[in-house]
Structure 1
Amino acid sequence: MKDSISGWYRNVIRNPKYRWWIIGGSLLYLLSPFDISPDFIPIVGWIDDGLIATLLVAELSAWALERLKVRKGEEPVQAVDAPTSGFTSETKTVDVNAVSAE
């Protein structure tokens, strides 16, 4: 169960179509005076800001690495949504010519 939840979360976070929402939302949260835990409480108040800042840095670095790969001419790696059944319409198939051996 843990692997499926963390895999889903990783795929959603790393999906390029959500990247700008995450960057904008995290910037808005960090610049906003309202927090989940107030900053005047030592350590506890800084944990949420640290997690959001980590998420922001991770997204910005992923974006920068993707841009660098595109500039070098490499194919960027893109996350895909986690399939629910294991098979999607984009599943690659291999045709095999089978013969019976008697």
Structure 2
Amino acid sequence: MKDSITGWYRNVIRNPKYRWWIIAGSLIYLISPIDISPDFIPIVGWIDDGLIATLLVAELSTWALERLKVKGRKAEDAVQTADAAVPGYKSETKTVDVNAVSAE
């Protein structure tokens, strides 16, 4: 059952149409005194909040890293396009080939 709930949560939060609804719902659930297991019960009451908080932070960080990678690729493409547009311009980036050898 855990895999189905976490899988559902990940799929829904990655969908741009529902992302903000899931984030808002998760934050409201964490703040709200109404839980699946009440918070006044030590440890057991905190497990559901910990699970939701962990999923929320993990998925938001994954989403943010993916967005940063996409922005980085777009910036690299823009620089390469600009370099190619200038006649006679030679980029100063150097490529180094490395032959890796496994050590036993």
* Pair member with larger Rg: 2
Task: Please tell me whether the aligned partners of residues 37 and 45 of structure 1 are also in contact (alpha carbons under 8 angstroms).
Answer: yes
Structure 2 portions without partners, runs of 5+: 75-104
Give the TM-score normalised by structure 1: 0.55
Ranked by relative contact order (alpha carbons within 8 Å, sequence separation 6 or more), the top structure is 1
| RMSD over equivalenced CA pairs, Å | 2.9
Which secondary structure does the structure 1 equivalent of 2:38 belong to? coil
**Structure 1 stretches lacking a partner, 5+ long:** 75-102
Amino acid at match of 1:17: K
Which amino acid in the other structure matches residue 73 of structure 2?
G
Report the structure, 1 or 2, having the larger helix content: 2
8 A Cα contact 1:19 1:59, kept in partner: no
% of aligned pairs identical? 86
TM-score scaled by length of structure 2: 0.54
Q: What is the Cα deviation at residue 10 of structure 1?
A: 4.9
State the aligned residue count: 72
